[in-house]
Amino acid sequence: MEPRIVVLASGSGTLLQAVLDSPIGGGVVAVGSDSSDALALDRAARAGLPTFEVLPGEFATRDDWDAALLEAVQGFRPGWVVSAGFMRILAPVFVSAFPGRIINTHPALLPSFPGSHGVRDALRHGVKVTGCTVHLVDEGVDTGPIIAQRAVPVMPGDTEATLHERIKAVERELLVETLTQLIGASS
């Protein structure tokens, strides 16, 4: 049986594309975003996938947005939810609806440098090695159980942009490998 994966993305969708181009790509049933400009939606549309937008500005409260996101995702009956560059914290009500079935990628070796500036924070701290993490989502910010990690060296002269590009290449591979293992283990 094919897995049912809903991918959430806020940006360019390179993580989504890596999943779509992999053997498990056929299991993606929908792609959602919190941004109508997300190029991930274009990638999904080109792949013939349904897309949806849950735009925060269209809701009176954060609770209303959380409820709308949950309803939109539940409509696709996912076995897995993949936060692939989705730049929103998922509410407890959302996390509890998919216990142990939401995964996220992060461009640092957690628990070091959580939050939205992991690459910048690692550079500012002067680390010689950073990397990426795939973890289960819990109610904290990048605090869920770590599933997999991969190191990426910091090179002399690295900027936030150059380091982040190298991390993203590794992050795409690690996401696909990890998701493949998780889906195989749950089938």
Amino acid 184: pLDDT:
75
* Domains by residue range for the chain, with CATH: 5-186 (3.40.50.170)
pLDDT at residue 186 in the model: 66
pLDDT digits over 77-115, tens only?
999 999 999 999 999 999 999 999 999 999 999 999 999
pLDDT at 67: 97
Instruction: Quote the pLDDT of residue 185.
Output: 66
Q: How far apart are CA 24 and CA 164, in angstroms?
A: 25
User: Which listed residue (106, 125, 135, 164) is catalytic?
Assistant: 106
Average pLDDT of the residues of the chain: 95
pLDDT < 50: residue spans in the chain:
none
Active site residue 106: yes
Instruction: Supply the DSSP string of 19-56, one letter for each residue.
Output: HHTSTTGGGEEEEEES-TT-HHHHHHHHTT--EEE--G
